[in-house]
Structure 1
Amino acid sequence: MDKNKYLAINEVIKQQFYLKYNRVLSSTEEIILEGSIENLSYEQIANKLYMSSGTVRNIASKFWSQLSELYHEKITKINCKYIIENILKSEENQENKSLSLIEINSENINDNQGIIMIIDDYIENLKILKQLLEKEGYQVRSARSAKMAFLSLEESLPDLILLDILMPNISGYEMCKIIKTDRKTSHIPIIFISALNDTIDKVKGFELGACDYITKPFEEIEVLLRVSHQIKLKNQTLRLEEDIKQHEKTIEMLYQSRSILASVLNNSCCGIAVLEAIRSPENAHIIDFKYYLINPIFANIFNINNLELITLVDSLKQCNFSQLAWIQEFIKVVKNNIDFRDIFLFKGQNYQMNVNKLGDGITINIIPLI
């Protein structure tokens, strides 16, 4: 197979693979594909990759499985060349292919408003990208030099930067490093632009903070999908950060409310308690109440030291109260939502008890009478 035909097949697979699985082919997968098209054995492919043939077979097995799912046909190392050639022939022309891809993925690129900055010294690239992105509703700013780009960033920040790697005076890698080390601009996602035949160091680009690559000549659907994906990620990140801030505010308000409540309870001259109903596992009838919250006055009256180890019945028994009949009255409060009032004598002091329903439990307010 001639080199141009292989490049065409490789490009089609890369685009459709990205659309299906939202990831690019790894360098290992590309070499496996190229070796299979050239009818190389797994041992020969493994030598190219400096890997064991067993490892290459495992990677290839997953790769063929994904290609089979992509093209709805069983693809293996043996038949991949024949099937992919037929797939390539079935594409009537590049224009119709791009149209079909856009129709399939229109929901992925619609309604994506955002500000895009394009940094490229080649004016033709700026025109192509600007026209393409503005047609989709994006606001586009362009800069032909690093100086113009940094001046523009000082005025206002974009949602995404498309940055050419081969810039005069200062490279795209250096510009990326400057942008990512500045606290003001470090959050802006950067997609590198490079020619298909350029030697680029992708690892270096990702280490500097780039999030993706776009190759020249531009494929419209690829550009739109990659841009749309990064804009969506940025918007999701902003929403998540806003949710986190709101959550932190809620926690702070809750903490303040609990502090205020604790202060009111601890300084009240009345005994206050919140109890939750304990229900029978057999018939769900209320058989007792467990303490959820008490203040110091209530704890002192009923001699309660540990909320988790004592129920209402236990606390009444240990204080030698004869008012165990209260339990039935408290149950009526929960069942019928009718308040209960009583006056009782304890250690020479008269108290008034007010009991009210609260959820599947009750609140008890004990007021000393003079």
Structure 2
Amino acid sequence: MDKNKYLAIEEVIKQQFYLKYNRVLTSTEEVILQGAIENLPYEQIANKLYMSSGTVRNIASKFWSQLSELYNQKITKVNCKYVIENILKSEKNSEKEQLYCIEIDNENNHHPQGIVMIIDDYIENLKFLKQLLEKEGYHVRSARSAKMAFLSLEESLPDLILLDILMPSINGYEICKIIKADTKTSHIPIIFISALNDTIDKIKGFQLGACDYITKPFEEIEVLLRVSHHINLKNQTIRLEEEIKQHEKTIEMLYQSRSILASVLNNSCCGIAVLEAIRSSENAHIIDFKYYLVNPIFATLFNIKKPNIITLISSLKECVFCQLEWIEEFIKVVKTNIDFRDTFLFQGKKYQMNVNKLGDGITINIIPLI
């Protein structure tokens, strides 16, 4: 069971114990409860408490009796996890907290300004912030306890959390620590709200992962500006992460394409070259071509150095492959986008040459003829 759910269960039991017996759980009872939920033997629970196993069993026996009385059913160390999970489900579905319990979003509703969760046990703060933010188009979900907050986060995630520091049972610092420790919720920006003005308290909040701090009494403009700023910043971060992921995918595809292209060129039985036009600086007319890419067959056939797929600076006229009358034909291909075909003899062998336009240059495919 994850820590959030355990804390929610513990919160339920603490509240109902207090209502029933007018007391809170002792630290020993808390450890026994957690150990039972984790299916630990009494010996391990006793080691955690630095007590004897017999003493822990006696305390646990009274504790299970009180739990059984509280929930009107037999509860033991063996079945407590199952029984308490059912209790939690019933608590989750109860309507005791009405407006201030979990407010789950309707998936069909669109909230352009964003979704804000307010965690505060003080009802006046909830009313004020809820009305203020809803006027500006935000959807607001409220929770008056850590238990309700964790249950709400299990259902769906808000865009931002306003978190009061002085909370009963579990304070705002502990809630923030738990939220930031969970990978599902760690990205949610948290703004602390409190009447505390001490610098140490602010530093502690930032160290735990909070992004901002609002002090009471609230200034409406300040609240709206800070909420808007951090939601916009979160959305920008999400968009940037998506763009980075898309960019990484594009790079990966390019690497794969380049690898495939290199494999095709290196294993081709034909000579392949890509040439880029060289234009005059005076009138932009094509005066020559330079090699941009050649495969090993082409480089070996025409004695071009560095027989691999790289950029080559040498002029076409400097290559033994070139016949002067071809340059004019190559220029025509670039100008007219009409392919050029020819056959020629080279070192006693016959070849067919296919030339096609590619950007501001050409591709040459040399096919040996038998």
Question: Residue in 1 aligned with 2:74?
Answer: none
Q: Is the 8 A contact 1:304 1:315 kept in 2?
A: yes
- Distance in 1, matches of 2:195 and 2:351, equals 87
Cα deviations across residues 278-335 of structure 1 (Å, max 9, x unaligned)?
Answer: 122233222221111111211111111235342211112xx6x6x2221222122222
Q: Is the 8 A contact 2:344 2:352 kept in 1?
A: yes
Structure 2: segments with no counterpart, 5+ residues: 1-110
Cα deviations across residues 153-196 of structure 1 (Å, max 9, x unaligned)?
Answer: 12221110000011122221222122112211110000010126
- Distance in 1, matches of 2:243 and 2:199, equals 42
Question: Residue in 2 aligned with 1:343?
Answer: 343
Structure 1 residues 338 and 199, CA gap change in structure 2 (3 angstroms) = closer
Paired residue secondary structure (2:157): coil
Letter of the aligned partner of 2:333 in structure 1?
Answer: V
Question: Residue in 1 aligned with 2:317?
Answer: 313
Paired residue secondary structure (1:163): strand
Question: Residue in 1 aligned with 2:194?
Answer: 194
- Distance in 1, matches of 2:198 and 2:303, equals 82
Q: Is the 8 A contact 2:330 2:362 kept in 1?
A: yes
Letter of the aligned partner of 2:312 in structure 1?
Answer: E
Question: Residue in 2 aligned with 1:361?
Answer: 361
Alignment of 1:45-124 (within 5 A): 112-124=112-124
Letter of the aligned partner of 1:285 in structure 2?
Answer: H
Letter of the aligned partner of 2:180 in structure 1?
Answer: K
CA RMSD of aligned residues (A): 1.9
Question: Residue in 1 aligned with 2:75?
Answer: none
Q: CA deviation at 1:272?
A: 1.0
Question: Residue in 2 aligned with 1:263?
Answer: 263
Q: Is the 8 A contact 2:291 2:313 kept in 1?
A: no
- Distance in 2, matches of 1:335 and 1:146, equals 73
Q: Provide the identity percentage.
A: 84
Structure 1 residues 112 and 194, CA gap change in structure 2 (3 angstroms) = farther
Question: Residue in 2 aligned with 1:231?
Answer: 231
Letter of the aligned partner of 2:317 in structure 1?
Answer: V
Q: CA deviation at 1:139?
A: 1.6
Q: CA deviation at 1:344?
A: 0.7
- Distance in 2, matches of 1:292 and 1:197, equals 66
Question: Residue in 2 aligned with 1:296?
Answer: 296
Letter of the aligned partner of 1:326 in structure 2?
Answer: W
Do residues 165 (structure 1) and 169 (structure 2) align? no
- Distance in 2, matches of 1:221 and 1:112, equals 19
- Distance in 2, matches of 1:352 and 1:149, equals 75
Q: Which moved more, 1:307-316 or 1:144-153?
A: 307-316
- Distance in 1, matches of 2:213 and 2:228, equals 13
Structure 1: segments with no counterpart, 5+ residues: 1-110
Q: Is the 8 A contact 2:292 2:313 kept in 1?
A: no
Question: Residue in 1 aligned with 2:272?
Answer: 272
Q: CA deviation at 1:260?
A: 1.8
Letter of the aligned partner of 2:279 in structure 1?
Answer: R
Q: Is the 8 A contact 2:290 2:313 kept in 1?
A: no
Paired residue secondary structure (2:262): helix
Q: Is the 8 A contact 2:293 2:312 kept in 1?
A: no
Q: Is the 8 A contact 1:112 1:231 kept in 2?
A: no
Q: Is the 8 A contact 1:275 1:289 kept in 2?
A: yes
Q: 4+ residue runs of structure 1 moved beyond 6 angstroms?
A: none
Q: TM-score, normalised by structure 2?
A: 0.65
* Count of matched residue pairs: 256
Structure 1 residues 123 and 362, CA gap change in structure 2 (3 angstroms) = same
Question: Residue in 2 aligned with 1:175?
Answer: 175
- Distance in 2, matches of 1:335 and 1:308, equals 23
Letter of the aligned partner of 1:212 in structure 2?
Answer: D
